[in-house]
Chain A
Amino acid sequence: MKLKLIVIGSGMVGARLIERILAKSPHIYDIRVFNKEPNGGYNRIMLSPVLAGEKTIPEIMTHNHDWFKQRDIHLHAGTEIREIDSINKTVKTDLGATYQYDKLVIATGSSPFILPVPGNDLPGLVTFRDIRDVNQMIQYSKYKQKAVVIGGGLLGLEAANGLIKLGMEVTVVHSNNVLMNMQMDAVSGELLKKSLTETGMQFCMNSKTVEILGDSHVTGVKMADGRVISCDLVVLAVGIRPNTTIAKKIGLEVNRGIIVNDQLQSSNPDIYALGECVEHRGMVYGLVAPLYEQAQVLADTLSGQSASYQGSAISTKLKVTGINLFSAGDFHDSNDSESLVYKDISQNIYRKIVLKDNKIKGAVMFGDVTGSNWIFENLVQQNDMSAYRDTLVFGEGFLPLANKDLEKEKVA
């Protein structure tokens, strides 16, 4: 008799988890998946290229209904879990059906953060989270001219880029004076802004949105300084909030996200959680790479192997064609760190590596990200980079200082 495994959420992480469990131990579990969205699994990261017209929805589908069917997995698409009975170990759907579980995995992901300002419920205001949002934006672009994207982070800029590709006039309103200020420093942020400006993107930096204007539909955005930008579409991309409602309801330990241990186990031993909805060692991750690592650890755990998630170093890339940027770790100067800085400003190239005790603490690159994976690997592994210091910022493949012939050679 197989154990009953219920997974709430078949987003990228939920689907990846199931894949890994099947690969590891295909016969342990009877798997049942509930998905709030009406479709199967798709690559959410690829929504930006879809919006930009570089990819189509079918191209980004990863796990359709057939995929689940072929693997004898019960997929409940368009079905939301409203209640969990952790004592009797059952879940109840929005339609009232109840299902038994032995192990439960919560992979509810996150929701866009909605700015608490007047007008935030007006038609014409969208977030950038799922296929529905993308379709909505594409529709708007067909008969509307002007869009404002609130939030100059990764997602906001990808949305803005997509809307420009769709022919809209786009202004990005950002609360900081550095774009992608979580991932970029002032110099790279400025280069990023310059590059995006060249694509036609407009910016309203250092600006706090205080109101979404409009009676029956958005007509503009109002800033703290009184400035108004008129528009037909507002895209809200100011961050995400882990979906923890259901976890809170049954008394799981929740802080910003559902708190899990190194085995991705919540405060209830039979309930696991992973993905954007969890908080591990104080960190809430919003990028796919660490979440895939979580999926692997949880798949191992559920297969009865000992595995442990230690947290992830993360690196960032922007999915905007023609723009290369990379950042990882802590790349801000401090008293106990040392910075290596390369600038080729006329080519919009900037690369900075921050070392602490000869190990890479952080890196930020713009314009040319050659060797960034090697840099990231060495950051993750915390290797001593003394021998490479002289060429480190330029990437890999250079002779280390120790091997270099120090005898000054002649030039003719």
Chain B
Amino acid sequence: MTETSTIQTTCPYCGVGCGMDISPKPEKNSRSNKLAGFEVKVIGSEFHPANFGKLCVKGSSAGETVDFDGRMLNPQVNGEVVSWDSALSTVADKFRSVIDEHGSDAVAFYVSGQLLTEDYYVANKLIKGFLGTANIDTNSRLCMASAVVGYKRAFGSDTVPCSYEDLEQAELIVFVGSNAAWAHPIVYQRIAAEKRRRPDMKIVVVDPRKTATCDIADLHLNLKPGTDAVLFNGLLAQLSKSPALNQGYINAHTEGFADAIAKAVERQGTIEKVAEQCELSVEDLSQFYNWVIENDKMVSLYSQGVNQSSSGVDKSNAIINCHLATGRIGKEGMGPFSITGQPNAMGGREVGGLANQLAAHMDFNKPESIDKVARFWKAENMAQENGLKAIDMFNAVADKKIKAIWIMNTNPVVSMPDADAVKKALQDCEMVVVSDCMQNTDTTQVADVLFPALTWGETDGSVTNSDRTISRQRKFMQGPENARADWWIMTQVAHKLGLADKFQYESAADIFREHAALSGFENDGSRDFDISLLENMTDGEYSSMQPFQWPLTADKRHGTKRMFEDNYFFTPSGKAQFIAITPKAPVHPTTKEYPFILNTGRVRDQWHTMTRTAKTAKLMAHTDEPYVMVHPADATDNKLMEGELAKVENELGLVIARVRIDRGQRKGSLFVPIHWTAQYASHGRVDVLVQPVGDPLSGQPESKHSPVKIAPYYAKWHGFILSREPINTDGLEYWVKVKGKQFYRYEIAGESAIENYQAWSNSFLDKTGDILDYEDASQKRYRSARIENGKLQTVAFIAPSTELPPRSWLGSLFANEIIDSKTRLNLLAGQLSGAKDEGKIICSCFGVGINTIVEAIKKDKLTTVEAIGQALKAGTNCGSCIPELTEILTVEQAKELTS
């Protein structure tokens, strides 16, 4: 085995886009699907502008996720492994026949912010240019679609004005709907470090929930959910009366201020009004407004809490309005900064991978743009209008208007609102094609055709992070033999559709050059996104491409740190636009039946639907089970107990989660994490509760405001199973699967009593090898373990309550080659006995072992059998051990003499 040199790549997780240095040590037999001994060491790239050498726990554990465990290894049609040729033809034939029979709009792509830009580009080109429909949408719709529309309304372009550096130069940072501490750890740590350096820097967190981000906050505004636009309209009203108002800037570079301020003053003209509407104290609110007025260098860092709303676009414009009114944009340390959730949400925006985009930051609203792109692509069947956004797309699948859908690298059965309805729609769809790197996801399970995709580390491409930095993801290891890059899969389908000449790509570099060329095609400064300087780059240059911030043009040969420094905007007038905001309440208010507002979000160490992060025990250790966070008063009122289970439900579905009681949770609202899927939990898919309503402009679902009710889950029994191999969970009512080191842990519970434990466990636990069991029938406690060839295979504990032994000691035993007899006897006690090891029992009447006897002889200087008897009782009953005691004495005395 030889160590290859370090390879620089980009993290596969969040939108911070950290650079990583990889040191892979591949196995000799790289064609093998086994990766025994393979080790991937990951450290932060010291020179990457996003992270300067730092990595969060997810990123630094990425090397532990590259095994082939659970990977999709072969193309499959209707559950059968088939050849690539056959699978590709099946898909091409079906798409062609559907289009021929029902028109272009009967097909769709649902893609992902985890696709690389090159893959994304090919997907967008294929469907919009050649299949004749813009029915391509992406999971980024769930993430930052509202921010895109907000920017476009204000700037005429989807332009993030800021750079991460601005965060370190700011005097005031306002986190709005962002738990960056968990969702964007490295950005948060950069801010936290700066805060330590400059304690007078002000940090405000606007979030109904007290999150980990509040740790560095000077002020936390736990406003009423959904009232962000009220808060910022109120801020605009206060700014207009303050010296912070930049009338010169407003006059010179903006339009629409009068309307916007009129609306704001009318509804949110006084601090008292705002305080009442947001359910905040006047003091806190005044403090916030004063800090904004006093601190010119202000960054508003906003994320899903703003975006995932039926009025998310208005909320982002309410924020941007405040920056325009103070001229706080296009300068160091300031700006409205939308931070994206995914590694390549931004790359998707750049290629136009959303249904309401065309390509390369062009839209369908200008016929000349459609013509331009069509000419560039030599497209024969160009889409002419926006396609269906995610919610509408899956509704169209449910209505049988879309008959064939190709889902790439995303898991909508988990992540879409009303997820059960999405699952049903896909089950009933004529053809569902899924490209994925994992064999078993909630979505691959409803697929007709499966394409095994290469994943992070196995393929080449580029990604764009939240501050417009384009970085390379590089191949550093061989993927499964039969898996392919996404661009290759789509290119091959295009070939089957007779489009070989339009999809002549041999490598990711080929695609990147075309993408760069399109960005500059008839641009002349009319579009913000332009990297045309790279359209003729060589393969070698692509291979060694260093991170840069777009635009990258002849004028800006090193990229662009900050946008709008020239105060020119991409609107027809060249001026930024104020948008008059009338704050709207969320679509579904709470009711008597569903009195709680359900909020959703991330936990620190998981990523999306856990297909990658759940593979490593380290990342499962932070939060191992789906939970519902509840305010103490709500817990009391609803008989909820810490650590017990609760049912969270509404008319759409049901989630069962572990109760966590937390004062940081707002009264009347609940929080459940987004990550758990049917692969890891029986009832952990929180999106089954989310109403399928979105922002009318962005189509982004209202994932943070679902009316629900909560009640205790009255489990008759609780338990856990640790198993070397995954178990069949079919017969279990409540279960959560957690990866441990060399084992899987299942936390389980049930509402119906178990009549016969043996029969019950037989239904899902393998029974080969040795079975150990324990039963305390009257207290309804049952435990069992299975040992095969000396190794622990499973251990199960059932109890009537959550009073169960710790799992860690039992879990650690899976690393043992052999379970010794003492450990074996202690297994079902759930802990190692602290009783002294007596050694071989000499006096069986009083159970005195040789270790105790030898110890007593030494300590108390015993010289006769009688003395031993007095000290330990040994030998004083039946006396049968007296000869052995005599022998032990002799041996010990001999030792004493020689020592």
Q: Report which A residues bind B (CB closer than 8 A).
A: 43, 45-46, 49, 55, 59, 62, 288-289, 292, 317, 319, 338-347, 349, 368, 370-374, 389-391, 393-399, 401, 404-412
Contacts and interface: CB of A to CB of B under 8 A. Distances in A.
B879 interface: yes
A340 B783 CA distance: 11
B675 to A, nearest CB: 16
Contact of A340 (B624, B774, B805, B806): B774
A342 B877 CA distance: 29
- Mostly, the A contact residues are mixed
A412 B745 CA distance: 10
B524 to A, nearest CB: 56
Contacts of A412: 617-618, 620-621, 740-741
Contacts of A371: 833, 835
A411 B825 contact: no
A338 B778 contact: yes
A288 B878 contact: yes
B806 A405 contact: yes
A338 B775 CA distance: 11
Given A368-B821, A373-B847, A404-B805, A397 B834 contact: yes
A240 to B, nearest CB: 17
Interface string B776-794: 1111010000000000000
Contacts of A62: 879
Given A390-B781, A397-B835, A411-B621, A345 B771 contact: yes
Nearest to A318: B844
Nearest to A405: B806
B879 A43 contact: yes
B876 to A, nearest CB: 8
Contacts of B835: 370-371, 374, 395-397
Contact of A409 (B620, B773, B781, B807): B807
Q: Which of A339, A372, A409 has the most CB of B within 10 A?
A: A409
B831 interface: yes
A158 to B, nearest CB: 12
Contact of B880 (A43, A393, A395): A43
7 shortest interchain CB distances as A-B pairs: A397-B835, A373-B847, A397-B833, A412-B621, A346-B770, A394-B829, A338-B778
A372 B847 contact: yes
B830 interface: yes
30 contacts: A338-B776, A338-B777, A338-B778, A341-B776, A342-B828, A343-B772, A344-B772, A344-B825, A345-B770, A345-B771, A347-B821, A368-B821, A373-B846, A374-B835, A389-B776, A390-B805, A390-B829, A390-B830, A394-B828, A397-B834, A398-B829, A398-B834, A408-B643, A408-B807, A410-B808, A411-B722, A411-B738, A411-B745, A411-B807, A412-B617
B845 A289 contact: yes
Nearest to B810: A411
Contacts of B831: 391, 398-399
Contacts of A391: 829-831, 833
Nearest to B620: A412
Contacts of B770: 344-347
A49 B846 CA distance: 19
B878 A45 contact: yes
B811 interface: yes
A406 B622 CA distance: 18
B548 to A, nearest CB: 39
B826 interface: yes
Interface residues on B, range: 35 or more
B621 A317 contact: no
B740 A411 contact: yes
A319 B643 contact: no
B642 to A, nearest CB: 9
Given A373-B846, A395-B833, A401-B803, A45 B880 contact: yes
Given A409-B808, A411-B811, A412-B620, A394 B826 contact: yes
A359 to B, nearest CB: 14
Contacts of B779: 338, 389
A343 B770 CA distance: 10
A319 B622 CA distance: 54
Nearest to A376: B847
A49 B771 CA distance: 35
Contacts of B806: 405, 408-409
A393 B624 contact: no
Interface in B818-853: 821-822, 824-826, 828-831, 833-836, 844-847
A383 B500 CA distance: 85
A391 B783 CA distance: 11
A247 to B, nearest CB: 27
Interface string B868-895: 0000000001111001000000000000
A262 to B, nearest CB: 22
A341 B774 contact: yes
A283 to B, nearest CB: 19
Interface in B507-558: none
A141 to B, nearest CB: 22
Contacts of A317: 844-845
Contacts of A340: 774-776
Contacts of B803: 401, 406
Nearest to A412: B621
B828 A319 contact: no
A343 B773 contact: yes
Contacts of A49: 880
Contacts of B829: 390-391, 394, 398
B773 A342 contact: yes
B845 A344 contact: no
B258 interface: no
Q: Which of B802, B805, B830, B834 has the most CB of A within 10 A?
A: B805
Contacts of B262: none
Contacts of A344: 770, 772, 824-825
A289 B877 contact: yes
A399 B826 contact: no
Nearest to A43: B879
A179 B618 CA distance: 53
A25 B636 CA distance: 72
B805 A393 contact: no
Contact of B833 (A339, A372, A394, A410): A394
Contacts of B624: 410-411
B282 interface: no
B753 interface: no
B771 to A, nearest CB: 7
Interface in B429-472: none
A288 B847 contact: no
Nearest to B843: A373
Contacts of B771: 345-346
A71 B868 CA distance: 23
Contacts of B193: none
Nearest to B658: A408
A55 B883 contact: yes
A326 B738 CA distance: 41
Contacts of A59: 883
